[in-house]
Amino acid sequence: MDRWYSSFLSRELSSGADVRVRSKHTTLCIMCRGGRRLCGKSICPIELKARAYIKNLNVINTKEFVGSSPPSVFVGRFGYPYVFAGPMVPPFIGDTEVMDIPEAWFGKPVETIVNYRYSLVRGTTRLPIDSVRRGGRVVESLQELSMGSSPADTEVEFLKKPTDRVSFDDNSQPFGPSAPLKSFDVSSIRVDHRIEKAYYDVDLRAAEAVDDLYRSGLQVSRLQKAFSMGVFGLSRNRKMVPTRWGITAVDSLLSKRLIDEIKAFETVDKYMVYAHSYQHNTFAAILMPRKWSFEWMEAWFPGTFWNLRGEDAAVIGDDEGYYGRKTYPDIGGCYFSTRLGVAEHLKRLKRQATVLVVREIMPEFPLPLGVWFVRENVRSMFKGTPRIFEDLRSCLMYLKDFLVVPPSRWVEESALLRDTILQRRIDDYFRRSDLT
């Protein structure tokens, strides 16, 4: 273990585990030693993840144990079309459901969320993605877990200990230890009957199944797990989908269907502005009285994950017009998780709009937590009361006191704002004429 890091974790590491530390701020970390917060973050991201891991070190330092899976499964993406899939199980029995329901994490301290992730041990076994069509005990057990509605007692046996060597760095998302799976057995599993019905309907397309289940009230995160394990779709098309891709696919599918609905509504009457701050992140949205279009933008300040050594905020964004987009956004899966939150809100309003959503990430934000963080913050933002304005300029002037990046920078970087400001519509002309 690196000498500078042992200065504040020596007591916890008395077990002798081989822990490796990586950081892109090496010199700064040596000077800081985890205590002076020289990087500007409110919590040392390395210390945060290491302490969560070490907290469970004694009980997971074994080749086998019994625990209550939330229930949870994970499908990796490396090696596709062969993937490493398996259950995620904490080394204890009890009510563990919250450990894999991101919708329930909003409002909880970052330390608690990281501890959830590091408490789940991932068993992995290599499988072809189409193995869900052939069945087998392992695949069927994983599909049962993905359809579960409550924690299931799971006995796991690994080929080696999950704790042989663990590396921490300052910017990766938190994930618990993993090990090759020798065997596992699931008992007392309670399958959600709504998902089970879709599973046995081999003539129901995956998109229809996911949409129907969403509208029945199922949480998005539960749909994403089942989707990832190839539970839905025509029998000949079913396959496993890496978890990261499955999350984005469900967000994209659901939001697209909602957008198709809201296009039948009238536009909002006024400009509406929403704003929200949480965990050193600021979110803001402007709803404009025009037909559907959408843009999602992020501003990463120096010292954050995507802007480690910059001198100014790095701003990036992606957008779509009335007919959507055909390419994957450069900004990643957060685009679709945000679009889902926007579409849900417009559906409640029974209105359509041109929508800009921006996010500012400050250096104090300790580490990326996943696209769920964006989706749940956007949902929370839209629960607030909007400020109403007559024009776009008033919206931007209002946000000037809320956001750090000045309005001129947002206009410069935003395709949607430039289009709104520079392009006159024919209906703008008629509103100003005597013809109406």
CB atoms within 10 A of CB 400: 14
Distance between CA atoms of residues 59 and 23, nearest Å: 27
pTM: 0.89
Instruction: Check residue 34 and give its pLDDT.
Output: 55
Structural contact between residues 281 and 377, judged by C-beta atoms closer than 8 angstroms: yes
* CB burial of residue 256 (10 Å; 0-12, 13-18, 19+): middle
Burial of 341 (0-12, 13-18, 19+ CB in 10 A): buried
Please report the beta strands in 192-345, taking only residues with DSSP state E, as ranges in sequence order.
Answer: 271-278, 281-288, 293-300, 314-320
Residue spans of the domains in the chain: they are: 44-187, 193-262, 271-431
pLDDT at position 26: 52
pLDDT in tens, the chain (436 residues): 445 455 555 545 544 555 555 555 555 565 565 555 656 666 777 777 777 777 766 667 788 899 999 999 999 999 999 999 999 999 889 999 999 999 999 999 988 998 898 889 999 999 999 999 988 899 999 999 999 999 999 999 999 988 645 554 444 456 778 899 999 999 889 999 999 999 999 999 999 999 999 999 999 999 999 999 999 999 999 999 999 999 999 999 999 999 999 999 999 999 999 999 999 999 999 999 999 999 999 999 987 776 766 778 899 999 999 999 999 999 999 999 999 999 999 999 999 999 999 999 998 888 888 899 999 999 999 999 999 999 999 999 999 999 999 999 999 999 999 988 877 554 554 444 443 3
Would you list the DSSP string of 292-325? SEEEEEEEEPTTBTTBSS-SS-EEEEEEEBTTB-
